[in-house]
Structure 1
Amino acid sequence: MTDLLIQNARIVNEGREFDGDLRIRGDRIETIGTGLSARPGEKVLNANGRVLMPGVIDAQVHFREPGMEYKGNLDTEPAAAVAGGVTSYLDMPNTKPPALSNDVLEDKYTRAAGRSRANFGFYFGASNDNLENIRRINPKTTPGLKIFMGASTGNMLVDDPAVLEGMFADCPTPIITHCEDTPMIDAEIAKARAIYGEDIPVDLHGEIRSRAACFKSTELAISMAKRFDTSLHVLHISTAEELMLFSPGPVMGKRITAETCVHFLHFAREDYARLGNLIKCNPAIKEASDRAALLRAVAEDRVDVLATDHAPHTWDEKQQKYEKAPSGLPLVQFFLVCALQKVRDGHFSLPHLVRKICHAPAQRFDIADRGFLREGYFADLVLVEPDGGTTVTRESVVSRCGWSPFEGERFDARVAATFVNGELAWNGSQLVGPPIGRRLEFAR
């Protein structure tokens, strides 16, 4: 490993912005200060006033391996992550096979070792028939238990009330939920088929996967968490109504927390006319008023974590008719620059954003020694050029699917460098060095 001194940076960390220097020794941050001088043999990087922040932790991704490697895998999607300043990720269990047992969970960790450019953690999955496996989870092996309380692929929809109660009562880790009410969705899709047949307009997606379906399921999850005193984290909040179910305040003081995703802060219903199935996701992108409410909720700490729900599908899959086109957007590579645009637009401050995408994920999921610029912590860092500019083109996409819903857009900021475990992984234009991502440790 190479020792490195980063000088003349605009450091953003733990609610502060200040000019300073940071020394990396091995895979850790050794010193944060001002006026640090280079040691003999030490490499020096002059940041020239660019922003230095902790590496982003994306707490919700679908990197598709095992079973769907033609969409993305543990080589390509972590590469896209570090190209966008994401140094750690938490991957969802709905792979093939799904991570419903410890054996499958450990197989995913084995697959990622030596291949993933970013640090990795994998969620345990829930089904109607794996409650005993859940009770035996070792909390140090996974960030949490993912429950699909709404439509999902395979057998991962948990709709047995007794099983749900058992999970909320006995799970030894935080529970992470996808909340949509399946019967309500099924009723709406039946209505749409009766009117449109196979030609359902995609801009009805937010009505089919309705705000009422989201609210009902989220309200159920929260009521169960309160009943059993469960540590609950509700994923990808998409409506203004759901936000009222959560309390503002610091993430560390909460048993029930909320997440939203960057695409809900960026797109709204009018964008279906331009992008169609390219922005079809579950839960659905809804109205501009919901987008505005979510931006306010991030600013007031009602939403605790901002993530992507990165979910690559092939271009051809997305060109199918509405019902056959799969849901999900590839977002991890442009997550940070898109979120930084919301700072530029005045919705919240840069230190506030760093809290949502770096500090809070580490705190909520007990990730050891990451998510902050602290002496002794792992040197996962991002150097950002605020006015460097990022124009999203098809050619710039690193994800295996090869496309982005942001194509043609220009963001003001640019990721100038990404460091993972003390080593340069992205130099602003290309990937650098071998994959050195590590298995995340959970301090429980």
Structure 2
Amino acid sequence: MLRTLLKNTKVVNENSIFETDVLLDGDFIARIDANITADNAEVIDLNGDYLLPGVIDDQVHFREPGLTHKGTIATESRAALAGGITTFMEQPNTNPQTTTIEKLEEKFSIAGRDAYANYSFLFGGTNDNLEELKRLDKNACSGVKLFLGSSTGNMLVDDEAVLENIFRNTEMVISTHCEDEGTIRANMAKYQKIYGDAIPIALHPIIRSEEACYLSSSKAIALAKKTGARLHVFHLSTGIETELFTNAIPLEEKKITSEVCIHHLWFSDEDYAEKGTLIKWNPAVKTTTDREKLWEALLDDRIDVIATDHAPHTIEEKDNLYTKAPSGGPLVQHALLAMLQKEKEGKIGFEKLVEKMCHNPAKLFDIDRRGFIREGYYADLVQVNRDSQNVVKKSNILYKCGWSPFEGTTFESKVVRTFINGHLGYENGSFSSEKKAKRLTFNR
């Protein structure tokens, strides 16, 4: 069995940073201690670099099956591994949609063959698949996804009786995309009357407005409180929504949790002039004040998780009039680097970054033995050099779509190596020929 001894590193884990050695034995972390010696182990000197738990991204769209001209489980998980993401949870709005147990297992089959990173999937709730959802074992996948506002691949759940039945009939985490569809449609009609299809991109956060987000999020939270359901609200984008969440109790005791995505922490409405439809997301990137309120809530623990909502489209699809350009963009390769940049700027502590990107997703979804650097846990690890300039350019972008909203950005950190289940999966631009990813298991 493969044994690897990592020497001369600084581990960032569970609110501390400390110098140590780490011994990997097979899939697992066997020992964490100073000055470890081990027979028959390959020794890798990390040269004083930092070692983090592998990032767990609870929200990605890898586009397979059916939309593979945009991305595949293979291409996007490979980019994720290069970015230090060792685990992903993929969303159900593919083609066909993941709304039956049969289609769910078909996705697991694809990932079992092609994934570079550990994987699970969310099961999509619709207006008419409640009985199928009831048949789903609570440990079968990462959770249930509900679109309470339409997005790419319309899975809108707008029947209130069905919605309440879903909330009452699953023990799994229910993750929601919250935007009020009626509000958005009224705003869209107003501006189409003025501009036709050539609506200025700067109006995107006005159309998919603060009001639309707050109405939907508050409704979902009220329903979760009424039914006792376990609710996780994806991609908060407004300051006012953060007031719906609490930091008065630890994450392990929360029934209602939330997430913020990289783009809502990095960009603001001031960036539409330069980036245009490349930063068209649902929910929309909003004001600088919203961005600051999201940061405040992240740092004071009202927001629990940082994710990407990685959602690639081709550049030809994005280079379109407002009403024709799809929402979403690729992020998994650069998400950790972006947050490390914010850490360098003093916006977030290193330990807090690891808590939000590694520890908390593992806790929130009850993932078995991942998200921490602990003896007996799976050896999903990321070596990061904090003094290495890294310019994002077309030649080093790994997404199938071939572009990034960060193109031209210089990051001051680098992912040197990524270990997955004890195996060196990525090193300085090169990938192992062996895929060692595993299907996630859960403790529920």
Q: TM-score range with shorter-chain normalisation?
A: over 0.9
Give me the whole-angstrom Cα distance separating, in 2, the residues matched to 1:389 and 1:8: 22
**8 Å contact from structure 1 (residues 135, 172) kept in 2:** no
**8 Å contact from structure 1 (residues 296, 347) kept in 2:** no
Q: Secondary structure at the match of 2:334?
A: helix
Counterpart of 2:30, as a letter, is E
Q: Deviations over 1:107-133 (max 9, x none)?
A: 000011121000000000011000111
User: Following TM superposition, by how much is the alpha carbon of 1:389 offset from its aligned partner in structure 2, in angstroms?
Assistant: 2.0
User: Following TM superposition, by how much is the alpha carbon of 1:428 offset from its aligned partner in structure 2, in angstroms?
Assistant: 2.0
Q: Deviations over 1:263-305 (max 9, x none)?
A: 1110000111001000000000000111111111111111000
Give me the whole-angstrom Cα distance separating, in 2, the residues matched to 1:412 and 1:188: 41
Q: Which residue of 2 aligns with 1:208?
A: 207
Q: Which residue of 2 aligns with 1:321?
A: 321
User: Following TM superposition, by how much is the alpha carbon of 1:395 offset from its aligned partner in structure 2, in angstroms?
Assistant: 1.1
Report percent identity of matched pairs.
47
Q: Which residue of 1 aligns with 2:172?
A: 173
1:246 aligns with 2:239: no
Aligned length: 443
**8 Å contact from structure 2 (residues 197, 324) kept in 1:** no
TM-score w.r.t. the length of structure 1 is: 0.98
**8 Å contact from structure 2 (residues 152, 327) kept in 1:** no
Q: CA RMSD in A?
A: 0.9
**8 Å contact from structure 2 (residues 358, 372) kept in 1:** yes
Runs of 4+ in 1 over 2 A off after TM superposition: 152-155
Give me the whole-angstrom Cα distance separating, in 1, the residues matched to 2:53 and 2:335: 14
Residue ranges of structure 1 left out of the alignment (5+ in a row): none
Counterpart of 1:158, as a letter, is V
Q: Deviations over 1:77-132 (max 9, x none)?
A: 00000000000000000011111110000000001112100000000001100011
**8 Å contact from structure 1 (residues 150, 179) kept in 2:** yes
Q: Which residue of 1 aligns with 2:163?
A: 164
Map residues 306-345 of structure 1 onto 2, 5 A cutoff: 306-345=306-345
Q: Deviations over 1:191-239 (max 9, x none)?
A: 1111112210011100000000000000000000000011000000000
Q: Which residue of 2 aligns with 1:131?
A: 130
Map residues 213-362 of structure 1 onto 2, 5 A cutoff: 213-248=212-247, 249-362=249-362
Q: Which residue of 2 aligns with 1:95?
A: 94
Give me the whole-angstrom Cα distance separating, in 1, the residues matched to 2:429 and 2:73: 21
Q: Which residue of 2 aligns with 1:122?
A: 121
**8 Å contact from structure 2 (residues 12, 351) kept in 1:** yes
Q: Which residue of 2 aligns with 1:64?
A: 63
Counterpart of 1:95, as a letter, is T
Q: Deviations over 1:19-66 (max 9, x none)?
A: 1110001110000011112x2331111112110010000000000000
User: Following TM superposition, by how much is the alpha carbon of 1:186 offset from its aligned partner in structure 2, in angstroms?
Assistant: 0.5
Q: Secondary structure at the match of 1:376?
A: coil
TM-score w.r.t. the length of structure 2 is: 0.98
**8 Å contact from structure 2 (residues 393, 408) kept in 1:** yes
**8 Å contact from structure 1 (residues 337, 390) kept in 2:** no
**8 Å contact from structure 1 (residues 114, 437) kept in 2:** no
**8 Å contact from structure 1 (residues 55, 381) kept in 2:** yes
Q: Secondary structure at the match of 2:87?
A: strand
Give me the whole-angstrom Cα distance separating, in 2, the residues matched to 1:228 and 1:103: 28
User: Following TM superposition, by how much is the alpha carbon of 1:152 offset from its aligned partner in structure 2, in angstroms?
Assistant: 3.0
Q: Which residue of 1 aligns with 2:186?
A: 187
Counterpart of 2:368, as a letter, is A
Give me the whole-angstrom Cα distance separating, in 1, the residues matched to 2:269 and 2:152: 25
Q: Which residue of 2 aligns with 1:46?
A: 45
Q: Secondary structure at the match of 1:193?
A: helix
